[in-house]
Structure 1
Amino acid sequence: MNYHAPHIIVEGAVQYQLGKLQGKQILYDFEKMVVYLDAKGKLMFGKKFKIYREDKEIIYKLCLYFIGDRTRCAQYGIDIDKGLLLSGPIGCGKTSLMKLMKHLVPHQRPYEVIPCRNIVFSFNHIGYKTIEEYGNSQFFCFDDLGVEPIGRHFGKDCNVLGEVLLSRYDLFLSHKLKTHTTTNLNAQELEDRYGNRVRSRMRQLFNLLAFDKGSRDKRS
C-alpha cells in the first residue's frame, strides 16, 4: 500500500485512482469509487457481485462516511464520529458492503466483521470472557444483530450482544472507539430484543443507514 498516495489502490496488475490529491487532502470521485468497489467486490465475492443502481444512494452515504467527508455527511445527518448501523431486508447486501467498504480506505485502521451468532457460540463455550473480548479496544462490525440466539453458560441465560453493546458504549465514551453493526430488524424490534436501555445507547453509538424496504434479494 502506498501511504503517499492513499487515493490510489492497486489490485493485482490494475491501479484504481479514487480521486486526486490536493495538498494533503484527497478529492474523491464517487463514480471512480464505485468502479473500484465493483471490481473489489468481484474479487472478494465472485463474478456475480455487482453494485446495483438502486443502491447508489446508500453506497454514496457509506462512501462519504468512510472517506470522512464531514461537511457532506452533516448534510445527510451522519455523524462521522459515531459508528454505523446498516439495516435492511435479508439478502440486500449489507454484509458484503460492510466487508467491502474498509478496502476503500486502506490507510485507516480496519474493523473486523464478526457474525453475532459466533459471539454467542463463544459465550456458550467460555462464558463472560467473551463479553470482555468484544468489549475491548479493537474495531468491530457485528453482523446480523438481533437474530442470534440467547446465550447460555452453566445454566444462566444472557443477552450476550446486549451486554457487548453496553461495553462498546463505554468504550465509545472513554476512547471515541467506533462500533459498526448490520441488522434485518427495525428500531422497535431491536428495542423488543435488547430493551430500552441498550436501544438508547445504540442511538448514541450509531448512525442509522437503511436500505429501502423493497430492496431486492441479491443472493439468487
Structure 2
Amino acid sequence: MDNPSKIMEGGIEYSLGKFDGKSVLYDFPKILVYLNAKGKLLFGENFKIYKEDRDILLKLCSYFIKDKVNCDKFEIDIKKGLLLSGPVGCGKTSLMKLLRHLVPLRRPYEMIPSRNVTFSFNHLGYKTIEDYGNTKFYCFDDLGVEPPGRFYGKDCNVMGEVLLSRHELFLQTKQKIKTHATTNLNAEELEDRYGNRVRSRMRELFNLIAFDENAGDKRK
C-alpha cells in the first residue's frame, strides 16, 4: 500500500509526517521543506518560502490536509473554499498553484485567471457562465480586477454571475464542489465590485485568508 505521508519529487522522497496505517500525522516543518522544493521545481530556483508567510502557510496547509484542530483554532470551515487576499506580488497565485500538490490523491482544482473568464464571455456570451458553473473545482485568480463583461451591447458582471452559479452548485452538492479564488481587493472593494448579494454568497462560499496588507512585493 502506498504511504500517503511521502511524496516523490525529482527523484527525491519527501516525508510530510508519519502514516499510522489509517491517517497521516502531518509535521508542519517537513511540509515546508517539501513546499520549498516543489516551489523551486514549479517556479524556478529563485522561489523560496518566506519566514513572514509561515502563519498564512500554516492556515493554508491546515485547510488542505484537513487538520481539524488547527482549522477550528483558525475558524476555517473545511467544507468551504478559500479566498486568499493580499497586496499585489505577495505570492497568492504561487501558493495556490503550489498547495494543490500537497494532497496528490485529492481532486485538484484548475487555476483560471478571472480576466480569461470575462474575455471568454465577451466572445461566447452566457455559455461561459454555464461552463464555469459546472462540477469542476476552480481557483479564480485575480478576482475583482477583470475587465467588464459585454456581449452584444449588454453589460454583465461576469465573475459575479459565475460566483452566484458556483454558490448554487455548492448548496446543491452539499458543499462537495469547491471554489477558490485569489484577490488583491479587500471586503469593501469586493462589495463595490460585485454588490451586496454576491458578497453575502461569497461569505458562504469562502474562508477568507488574508496576507498582511504591508506584505512586500516578492517579484521585485
Mapping for residues 22-171 of structure 1, pairs under 5 Å: 22-171=20-169
Q: Secondary structure at the match of 1:167?
A: helix
Task: Note the C-alpha offset of 1:12.
Answer: 1.9
Aligned partners of 2:112 and 2:81: how far apart in 1? 15
Letter paired with 1:148: E
Q: Secondary structure at the match of 2:130?
A: helix
Task: Note the C-alpha offset of 1:214.
Answer: 0.8
Report if aligned partners of 2:4, 2:19 keep a CA contact under 8 Å in 1.
Answer: no
Task: Note the C-alpha offset of 1:154.
Answer: 0.9
Q: Secondary structure at the match of 1:104?
A: coil
Aligned partners of 1:140 and 1:88: how far apart in 2? 19
Q: Deviations over 1:83-107 (max 9, x none)?
A: 0000000000000000000000001
The alignment covers a number of residue pairs equal to: 218
TM-score (norm 1): 0.98
Matched, 1:197 2:185: no
* Other-structure match for 1:217: 217
Aligned partners of 1:17 and 1:172: how far apart in 2? 33
Aligned partners of 1:165 and 1:189: how far apart in 2? 16
Aligned partners of 1:36 and 1:205: how far apart in 2? 29
Instruction: Give unmatched runs, 5+ long, in structure 1.
Output: none
Letter paired with 1:22: D
Instruction: Give unmatched runs, 5+ long, in structure 2.
Output: none
TM-score (norm 2): 0.98
Q: CA RMSD in A?
A: 0.8
Letter paired with 1:37: L
Give the share of equivalent positions with the same residue, in percent. Answer: 68
Structure 1 residues 15-24 or 197-206, which shifts more?
A: 15-24
Aligned partners of 2:105 and 2:16: how far apart in 1? 13
Report if aligned partners of 2:18, 2:24 keep a CA contact under 8 Å in 1.
Answer: yes
Q: Secondary structure at the match of 2:100?
A: helix
Q: Secondary structure at the match of 2:8?
A: strand
Aligned partners of 2:153 and 2:35: how far apart in 1? 45
Q: Deviations over 1:104-128 (max 9, x none)?
A: 0001000001000000000011110
Q: Runs in 1 of length 4+ with deviation above 4 angstroms?
A: none
